[in-house]
Amino acid sequence: MRTRHRLLACATAALFGGAGVLMAPAAAQAANLLTNPGFETGTLAGWSCAGNAGSVVSGPVHGGTRALAGAASNSDTARCAQTVSVRPGTKYTLSAWVRGSYTYLGVQGGTATWTGSAADWKQLTVSFTTGASQQSAEIYLHGWYGQGTYYADDISLDGPGGGDDTEAPSAPGNPRATGTSASGVSLAWDAASDNVGVTGYDVYRDGTLATSVTGTSATVGGLAPGTSYRFTVRAKDRAGNVSPDSATVTATTGKDDGNGGDRFIQAAPYLYLGWGNPPSPTEVMKATGIKWYTMAFILAQNGCNPAWDSQRPLTGGQDEAAIKAIRAAGGDIVPSIGGWSGNKLGPNCSTTEALAGAYQKVIDAYRLKAIDVDIENTDEFENPAVQDRILGALKIVKQNNPGLRTILTFPTLNTGPNSWGDRLIERAHELGADIDNFTIMPFNFGGQADMYGNTVKATEGLKAKLVSTFGWTDQQAYHHIGISGMNDSSDAGEVTTAQIWTQIRDWANSHDLGRLAFWAVNRDRPAWQFTSITAGFTG
């Protein structure tokens, strides 16, 4: 990545939307009026959290696979709220499962309840009656100052939907599978119509709610490889009216080769123990569900010897201790060898064989499943001899370590690889380096760049280069592509918000890319939003 030692300003944004849950068809009476009540969309869709203090986590959860985490601080209670349409003079029951100290549940301007301490999940319930002319109600949860993170899940507001609208939307049309991987299926459909307006869609997998979205596409992850699934879609409106099922679409996931599918798939944000008050990797894993980290940086020490940051020992130090903890928690790491700055192995190892030997020391030290060479700057990326040396060394270690996956990470233009990137890809083909993944870093384009649009354009440019060089199909090329972004502000002042990063992740999922990373977990505080989003990458 380009920036290594400078903590850039955070500019994240909470995600808003109108997804929802299953409601009784063709009637305004609904079992639950809340949008995204269990956070199974993997986002904060429908919820507004003050100060960006809310995030969606994969653990701990009460039901399903996601829950809300509110990072209360000394100056903020991490209040998360949602406004719904209600009927005047009507009784409603609000409930939520919560965990943590001093967690509150209530309705704005009305009644509330709270728990002083909940070491495990505890249900809070409160009832209220709307006013004689009340048309909406804001329900909320929050923690308390200095009491730390609270968790909430399976939130419910029982009662009739607001307004006099009883007309259900039409069924979504033309449902179709737009892509598959070993663990996910991407779907799209034509928009439904409604007399007032459609607010979202529920996607069902074999009759069970799988995800809720506001647009006309979705990716359903967490599926078994080589398995056939049936999907239907329902539209809904704000009053709680739900459409009939769409037509059924059947899709089969890809076969598993024992490494996460029939191809290499990895969600691995950067973790750097040499800078920026590094967080506990296992605590971040618990909070976000992330399994892999890209550990930075392996550099040269006293010639052609690998070491962390050129100074910390390869084994026996804090880096090895962190890796052991990550693995004990069910995760793994890929080392980042090289980077933008520092004393690198590529120029310091005088031959291809010597460089392969240095890589092998790292592989042997940690019994690695994958290695990443981050090739940048004039000493490696813009040096033909060093480019060839790196490619040759990767070819050697891959031949000597069956099953090892190899990654090349390098800069890009907003249209795809520059001339040095083109050369790197062409030489990888000519030398038979058998690289598993070509990961680009789509940032530092300058100014107020469209980070989503430019990332997609740069990735499509890389795809075209891989197709023309290797003779792959578009799908094969996508499988060999990775995106490594930069959360919040880049060196050039571009801003990638959490919402934009979610768009990039969803696009990567829908195109079956092989890898997703960002620089860096160290900068993803306090709610680990980008890490949580990255954990939803399924390829």
Q: Which of 40, 376, 380, 494 is catalytic?
A: 376
With beta carbons less than 8 A apart as the criterion, state whether 423 and 461 touch.
no
Query: Rg of the chain's alpha carbons, rounded to an integer?
Result: 25
Structure token pair of residue 522:
């160290």
- Which residue is associated with the tokens 């996931």? 253
Nearest to 39 by CA among 22, 55, 51, 23: 55
Is 376 labeled as catalytic in the residue annotation?
yes
Structure token pair of residue 118:
């909940």
Helix H, strand E, coil C: the string for 293-361 is EEEEEEEEECCCEEEECCCECCCCCHHHHHHHHHHHCCCEEEEEEEECCCCCHHHHCCCHHHHHHHHHH
**At residue 523, what are phi and psi to the nearest 5 degrees?**
-95, 0
Residues 88 and 135: their CA atoms lie apart, in Å, by 6
Segment (H or E) for 476:
helix 474-479
Count other Cβ atoms within 10 Å, centred on residue 311. 12
Structure token pair of residue 432:
């038979």
Q: How far is CA 349 from CA 78, 304, 355, 364, 372, in A?
A: 51, 5, 5, 18, 17
Nearest to 191 by CA among 165, 213, 163, 162: 213
Apex 163 CA angle, 162 and 166, nearest 5: 100
With beta carbons less than 8 A apart as the criterion, state whether 436 and 407 touch.
yes
Grouping H, G, I as helix, E, B as strand and the rest as coil, residue 364 is helix
Structure token pair of residue 145:
């100052």
- Would you call the peptide bond into 411 cis, given omega within 30 degrees of 0 as the criterion? no
| DSSP state, residue 214 | S
Give the strand pairing for 270-272 and 292-301. Answer: parallel
* Burial of residue 447, with CB atoms counted within 10 A of its CB: 0-12 exposed, 13-18 middle, 19 or more buried: exposed
Grouping H, G, I as helix, E, B as strand and the rest as coil, residue 167 is coil
CA dihedral 531, 537, 538, 539 (to 10 degrees): -140
Grouping H, G, I as helix, E, B as strand and the rest as coil, residue 86 is coil
Residues forming the active site: 376
